[in-house]
Amino acid sequence: MWSRVSPEYVTMGDVSPAKYLTKASTDRVAPSVFSVTPDVSTRADFLHSDSISRRTWLSLIFVALASMVAQGFGRFTFPVLLKAIENEMLGSYTLAGLLSNVPLVAYLIGTAIVSVASTRIEAARLVKIGVSMSFIGLALMAFAPNVWFLCLGLFVAGFGAAAVWVPAPGIAAALVGAKRGGMAIGLVGSGIGTGILVAGPLTNSVRAVTHDEGAWRPVYAIQAGIAIFVLIGLFAVLRAGAKSEVTEKVAISVLTTVPNWKWILASFAVFGIAYSLYFYFLPTQLLSNGWSAQSSTLVFSLLGLSSIFGGVLFGRISDRYSRRLTMGFGFLLMSTAPILSLSDIKPLVIVGAISFGLCVAGVPTTIGAMLSDSLSGRSFATAFGTITLGFGIAQLIGPPFAGWVGDQTGSFAIPFMVASALALVAASFAIWMRPLEKELSSSSV
């Protein structure tokens, strides 16, 4: 399935999917980066097969679990616990919005550093470093005696999220090749949705056991324990490649070799603003609308559940049809979610949350697949890190604005409506992108 990898990847200082395979003495092909013991089911004709080996699936699953810990736990559990943290430590939505930016600022700094480090450090090692930092951040939050320790934990976890997520999509796409790149990126991204899904029921369970409706530290403590398990699994499954594979440098300008790169960058930036206006404050808005704490966390969990399938679904559709049109549809669907969430009709609120969950995973998956069509390996990591910087800088605008409006009006209706309008603007970008259907047809199944 990787026979379509073109030689120009290597001339750009890139590493093709074949870099993950080395010839074993048994004349079988074993993954050098992703295995410790030989995979007898992975033979030399695997490169020309439509099947995916068990070891490849195992590698994808553990990278997805790393994404769950780094993003779903380290960054995205915070909205579920925000109200309890605000009541105990903060006292205002404005301060809560600023605190929401701590992991984001760390994520931006981490993205910049990891994008540079990816030219020298093997991707599998970066993922392990990221999960280790996520564990430290979660542990700090679990035992935080004050706001400053909480900020430190959020910062460390945010940096760890960047170390995991910048290389993760490239690893996924390289494992299965361009033919199934979107599906693989979606699968790895589904780990983020899994973390969001787990956060709600875990919080409710902890509060039921402790008989404390404001409990939040034990949630982070349990997540830190899960991070240890995932880290052990990564050390068992992933190992670093040869040093000779990571000595070549990749210029930041590699992004400009991707067709429609300006529209891709603009789309991801607008996505960052729209997403941050809605995502971080959905549970709090539901509480303000009279929903119980348990019901609001359940809705947030449904958002996480749908995002698990959103990445894989959008990735598969974009593999088969069109990256550009799939992205446009995702933004259109995303624009409906914040408006529906303001409704007094609860089923519509649930539909809105599920729709947003599909898009919060599906749109970035599709954008990542656009890059993977032209780049792989370290070139992909560098380009993906670059557009993630644009996404993150734009995302800094959302939480402080939404928090300030929440304090002034007692509602997040205005930020939600702005989020819908921005999603519509981003949907229009798909019209202006140069169609690449001829190139994409070679990736369809």
In a domain, 4, yes or no: no
Q: pLDDT digits over 320-339, tens only?
A: 888 899 999 999 999 999 99
- Within 8 A by CB and 6+ apart from 444, the residues are 319, 320, 321
Nearest to 390 by CA among 107, 49, 41, 87: 107
Q: What is the pLDDT of residue 330?
A: 95
Domain count, the chain: 1
Torsional sign, CA 412, 400, 429, 164: negative
Using a pLDDT cut of 90, give the percent of the chain over it: 31
Side chain identity, residue 186 = G
Domain that holds residue 267: 13-41+52-443
Q: What is the pLDDT of residue 86?
A: 82
Q: What is the pLDDT of residue 14?
A: 36
- Alpha-carbon distance of 33 to 203, in angstroms, equals 36
Side chain identity, residue 139 = A
Q: pLDDT digits over 13-55, tens only?
A: 333 333 333 333 333 333 333 232 333 333 333 333 456 677 7
In a domain, 190, yes or no: yes
Torsional sign, CA 258, 252, 381, 355: negative
In a domain, 2, yes or no: no
DSSP collapsed to 3 states, 176-187? HCHHHHHHHHHH
The helix/strand count (H/E) of the chain reads as 18, 2
In a domain, 367, yes or no: yes
Q: What is the pLDDT of residue 417?
A: 95
In a domain, 7, yes or no: no
| Secondary structure class of 21 (helix, strand, coil) | strand
pLDDT, one tens digit for every residue, the chain (445 residues): 333 333 333 333 333 333 333 333 333 333 333 232 333 333 333 333 456 677 778 888 899 999 999 998 998 898 888 888 888 887 777 777 778 889 888 988 998 898 778 777 788 889 999 999 999 999 999 999 888 999 999 999 999 999 998 888 878 777 776 566 677 788 888 888 888 888 888 998 999 999 888 899 999 999 999 999 999 988 887 665 434 344 456 677 788 888 899 999 999 999 999 988 998 888 888 988 888 888 888 898 888 889 888 888 998 888 888 889 999 999 999 999 999 999 989 999 999 999 999 998 899 889 988 888 887 667 777 788 888 888 888 888 888 888 888 888 888 999 999 999 999 999 999 888 887 654 445 444 4
In a domain, 232, yes or no: yes
Longest dimension (CA), the chain: 69
Asked if residue 423 lies in contact with residue 330, where contact means CB atoms within 8 angstroms, the answer is no
Asked if residue 261 lies in contact with residue 255, where contact means CB atoms within 8 angstroms, the answer is yes
Torsional sign, CA 351, 307, 337, 298: positive
In a domain, 1, yes or no: no
In a domain, 338, yes or no: yes
Give the CATH number for residue 121.
Answer: 1.20.1250.20
